[in-house]
A = this chain, B = another copy of it.
């Protein structure tokens, strides 16, 4: 990564419970939003099963392509927690009891420490710990791969521990213009606005709620002045149709 090539990221969600439809993922949106705000576009998410071969392949494909790779899930103490072993295999590293992780866990658990809990201190050799302020066992980093818990509250605590160590790019800003207009009524003008502002990512998202139909037009980019100009164009478009526009601003 140089000053000319902004950082990018990928996320691997390890979890049979997502692929079976049992559990609604609650981690993608959080990580995606935090990375956008840090100027690190999330380029791909993969949800893979709790299988070593699938995890290895996803990790090695995505770490070859993106600056940072995050994983969630599979770092507990039970038989289905195979993420640490799989990351070790992906890097060709032995998986050993990490001395500092053991110390952290003995401090956190006190007399409640057990051999079963200490399974969570098994990590690829040379892994750097990711602090876990929410519960006892830490996450870890190997190379560009950050290994986080799947439980959302723990994942978030770990993410915030590691975030200051990431090298971000220019924060990605967004503006959203919402109106009770159908996409087909604005499609042509929108295409012209996109052509006028090629450095802005302009998305169109139809919605239906409470008997109303409408569209949210989202402009994303790193230049605040350009975004404001795009919003002016979008509002003029909606105003020209005799409708009202609502403007929202935010990261991501």
Contacts and interface: CB of A to CB of B under 8 A. Distances in A.
A101 to B, nearest CB: 15
A204 B82 CA distance: 12
B78 A16 contact: no
Contact of A17 (B44, B81, B205): B205
A182 to B, nearest CB: 9
Interface in A49-92: 49-50, 54, 76-81
A24 B151 CA distance: 17
A66 to B, nearest CB: 12
A16 to B, nearest CB: 6
Tallying the copies of this chain within the complex gives 2
Nearest to A9: B19
A133 to B, nearest CB: 14
A225 B206 CA distance: 46
B151 A77 contact: no
A116 interface: yes
Interface stretch (A33-41, A124-132, A138-146, A232-240): A33-41
A45 B11 CA distance: 12
Among A35, A80, A201, max chain B CB count under 10 A is at: A80
A54 B46 contact: no
Contact of A77 (B29, B31, B187): B187
Contacts of A220: 16, 20
Contacts of A172: 20
Contact of A187 (B28, B41, B78): B78
B20 A194 contact: no
A1 interface: no
Given A18-B28, A18-B32, A19-B44, 5 more contacts: A20-B174, A21-B28, A22-B252, A44-B49, A78-B187
17 contacts: A17-B203, A19-B41, A19-B43, A19-B44, A20-B33, A21-B32, A21-B36, A23-B29, A24-B29, A25-B29, A43-B54, A45-B45, A45-B46, A78-B190, A79-B190, A117-B184, A151-B208
